[in-house]
Amino acid sequence: SIHLVYLFSNRPSGPLDACSLGAGPGRQALPCQPPPTNMKEFMQIRVDPPGITCGNPPERFCTLENPYLCSDECDASSPDLSHPPQLMGDRERGGLITYWQTITWSRYPEPLLANITLSWNKSLEVVDDIIITFEYGRPTSMVLEKSMDKGATWQPYQFYADDCLEAFGMSPKQVSDLAPTNLTRVICTEKYSRWVGAKEEKNVVFEVRARFGVFAGPKLINMDALYVRMETMKGLRDFFTFSNLRLRLLRPALGGTYVQRDNLLKYFYAVSNIDVPARCRCNLHASRCVLRDATLQCECEHNTGGQDCQRCRGGFRSRSWRPGSYLPLPRGAANTYCECNGHSNRCSYIDFINVVTCVSCKHNTRGQSCQYCRLGYYRNASLPLDDDNICADCDCDPDGSASPHCSDSGLCRCKAGATGRRCDSCVSGFTWRGGGAENLCDSERLLCQNGGTCVDFLRCTCPGNSTGTSVRKMGRCCDDEGGASAALKHFLLLATRR
Ligand SMILES: *[C@@H]1O[C@H](CO)[C@@H](O)[C@H](O)[C@H]1NC(C)=O
Ligand SMILES: *[C@@H]1O[C@H](CO)[C@@H](O)[C@H](O)[C@H]1NC(C)=O
Ligand SMILES: *[C@@H]1O[C@H](CO)[C@@H](O)[C@H](O)[C@H]1NC(C)=O
Ligand SMILES: *[C@@H]1O[C@H](CO)[C@@H](O)[C@H](O)[C@H]1NC(C)=O
Ligand SMILES: *[C@@H]1O[C@H](CO)[C@@H](O)[C@H](O)[C@H]1NC(C)=O
Ligand SMILES: [Ca+2]
């Protein structure tokens, strides 16, 4: 579970964190999917064949590392000596290792076969390495299988053997041999099956992290690249998806040598833990997954429904369902350009024109599918259509604008002299005075004469105190004692032009 934290730390910040509210200030810019968790908490474990679990009748067993010390006992009727399947998924406390254990290989040469089936009956997406921990040695050969349809059909996920060619007729590979083009290939690996001592290496791993690394780079620094691939590369998302897993144990650990028939009590399987770090697959239409009636279930949004949000909700069936997408980064998109785009929960059927139309569109939207913005609002092109903030206020300046409405791109219609998207600034030669007002003086074109200084683009102040008053206040010239000077005439001319 340590892995999970830095891999996908997008746990929603609170219970109200709904995917449709993913945008806006203070909200996280992340795709709409539930956080990952260790799915061992929710798995149903079944082992086959019946009678494979040790202890009924009670049995003695030895160990590979000390084959003449056979003092251990498995007894299903004793709590301390029993090893039921549940111990593969328990939370071990206080350092005590608990494990499921099989009967020994006393019926050799008949193969010692065991299946461990882990059922969730819910589409899951694995987000980190699946780790199976074997006590008393890892199997000489085994297969990890997966089902995507609740156990109806199975397919191999990875083969494990100390000799892949002999066990499965496959040449041994490692994940590091895989390239982006063949990442979804099922391989046989010898890495987790060779005998190195039962205590030295206990884990058999299905490498998810290393596969992600093929796209996201070492240490998974570029997760965006992985998301893009998930969206664009056929079969990639499905490769990491399963509803159930099965371990087919085909041959137990042999201690690095051939089978010793005189001491078969040292051959058996024992599994102490199975970690399955995964998230519910909700097709990017839910941020939460809950246990309901003992079954995992996405809490679907975007008017979708079903266990995996794999269809449109009842009453929202007139358009076809689509999965959400990881693109555009980083938030992804709901792709629910259907019905009311998430801006209304109510539709009304207008009989005589045979049209279903949304009622009471929220978020300043309007239209049959709430697909337009109300007058006075315009569409934010960088947001998906179902975003709560899709319609931005035109916010046209009441002084500078001729109308409170704006164009599709948010441009307000300006009065003369005003400019800017909101008509809240002036074209050159104009100054803002409750709207764009033409300048009467400035420091470039309409200079004050005779050493005067232009104040507020409206009046000139003149050097010395002896000159006139009226022109001094309003005009551009400071050469007049008052009266109808050329400057005043000029001012009056400008004033009339306004
Ligand atoms: C294990 O499962 C496979 C199918 O995945 C089946 O063919 C096989 O018989 C099972 N083995 C046991 C021992 O139940
Ligand atoms: C999963 O589904 C199968 C078949 O429908 C059923 O037998 C099994 O009990 C289910 N398991 C869980 C964990 O719900
Ligand atoms: C995957 O492709 C790479 C490059 O094309 C190749 O070298 C490698 O052998 C392939 N791996 C497998 C398992 O086929
Ligand atoms: C449009 O949405 C983007 C992304 O949320 C945001 O950064 C931008 O400020 C929005 N623009 C307007 C005009 O609201
Ligand atoms: C202008 O008059 C004011 C007071 O009337 C005085 O303080 C100032 O010094 C005078 N300036 C000049 C340049 O004479
Ligand atoms: Ca355990």
What span, in angstroms and rounded, lies between the C-alpha atoms of 411 and 405?
A: 9
Residues 477, 482, 484, 489: is their CA dihedral positive or negative?
Answer: positive
Residue 88 dihedral angles phi and psi, to the nearest 5° = -80, -15
Q: What is the mean pLDDT of residues 445-467?
A: 71
For ligand 4, whether the C-beta of 411 sits within 6 Å is no
The alpha carbon of 416 and the centre of ligand 4 are apart by a number of angstroms equal to: 29
For ligand 3, whether the C-beta of 177 sits within 6 Å is yes
- Give 230-264 pLDDT, tens digit per residue: 877 889 999 999 999 999 999 999 998 899 999 99
Task: Among 248, 251, 269, name the best residue to mutate to test ligand 1's pocket (greatest count of ligand atoms within 8 A of Cβ).
Answer: 248
Atom in ligand 2 nearest the alpha carbon of residue 120: 13
What span, in angstroms and rounded, lies between the C-alpha atoms of 156 and 161?
A: 14
Residue 481 has pLDDT above 60, yes or no: no
The alpha carbon of 139 and the centre of ligand 2 are apart by a number of angstroms equal to: 27
Task: Among 39, 86, 121, 295, name the best residue to mutate to test ligand 2's pocket (greatest count of ligand atoms within 8 A of Cβ).
Answer: 121
- Give 349-405 pLDDT, tens digit per residue: 665 665 667 788 999 999 888 889 999 999 998 888 888 899 999 999 988 899 999
- Find all residues with CB under 8 Å of 80, minimum gap 6, and list them: none
Work out the pLDDT band at 205, boundaries 50, 70, 90: very high
Atom in ligand 2 nearest the alpha carbon of residue 119: 13
Residues 371, 376, 379, 383: is their CA dihedral positive or negative?
Answer: negative
What span, in angstroms and rounded, lies between the C-alpha atoms of 55 and 68?
A: 20
For ligand 4, whether the C-beta of 23 sits within 6 Å is yes
Burial class (CB within 10 angstroms; exposed 0-12, middle 13-18, buried 19+) of 241: middle
For ligand 1, whether the C-beta of 49 sits within 6 Å is yes
Work out the pLDDT band at 315, boundaries 50, 70, 90: low
Q: Which of 73-82, 119-128, 382-391, 488-497 has the lowest mean pLDDT?
A: 488-497
Could you tell me how many helices (H) and strands (E) the chain has, helices first?
7, 32
CB atoms within 10 A of CB 479: 17
User: Which ligand is closest in space to the CA of residue 421?
Assistant: 4
What pLDDT score was predicted for residue 484? Answer: 36
**CA 385 → CA 229, 375, 381, 450, distances in Å?**
24, 17, 9, 62
User: Which ligand is closest in space to the CA of residue 143?
Assistant: 1
Atom in ligand 5 nearest the alpha carbon of residue 465: 1
Residue 429 has pLDDT above 90, yes or no: no
Work out the pLDDT band at 121, boundaries 50, 70, 90: very high
For ligand 1, whether the C-beta of 50 sits within 6 Å is no
As for ligand 5, residues whose beta carbon falls within 6 Å of it are: 464-465
Which spans in 294-450 are helix H? none
Closest C-alpha to ligand 5, atom 1: 465
Atom in ligand 3 nearest the alpha carbon of residue 181: 2
Quickly list DSSP for 250-293.
EE---TTS---GGGGGG---EEEEEE-EEEE--TTS-S-EEEET
User: Which ligand is closest in space to the CA of residue 176?
Assistant: 3
SS (H, E, C) 220-231: HCCHHHHHHHHH
**CA 288 → CA 27, 327, 338, 463, 490, distances in Å?**
16, 20, 22, 75, 73
Closest C-alpha to ligand 3, atom 3: 179
Closest C-alpha to ligand 4, atom 9: 380
- Give 256-275 pLDDT, tens digit per residue: 889 999 999 999 999 999 99
Residues 430 and 436: beta-carbon distance below 8 Å? yes
For ligand 3, whether the C-beta of 187 sits within 6 Å is yes
The alpha carbon of 465 and the centre of ligand 5 are apart by a number of angstroms equal to: 6
CA 367 to chain centroid, in Å, comes to 30
The alpha carbon of 79 and the centre of ligand 6 are apart by a number of angstroms equal to: 14
Work out the pLDDT band at 321, boundaries 50, 70, 90: low
Domains of the chain: 12-34+282-332 (2.10.25.10), 37-280 (2.60.120.260)
The alpha carbon of 320 and the centre of ligand 2 are apart by a number of angstroms equal to: 29
Beta bridge partners of 107: none
Q: Which of 76-90, 115-129, 333-347 has the lowest mean pLDDT?
A: 333-347
CB atoms within 10 A of CB 455: 12
The alpha carbon of 289 and the centre of ligand 6 are apart by a number of angstroms equal to: 25
The alpha carbon of 117 and the centre of ligand 1 are apart by a number of angstroms equal to: 10
Q: Which of 229, 230, 226, 222 is nearest to 212 (CA)?
A: 226
What span, in angstroms and rounded, lies between the C-alpha atoms of 487 and 21?
A: 62
Atom in ligand 2 nearest the alpha carbon of residue 121: 1
Whole-model pTM over 0.85: no
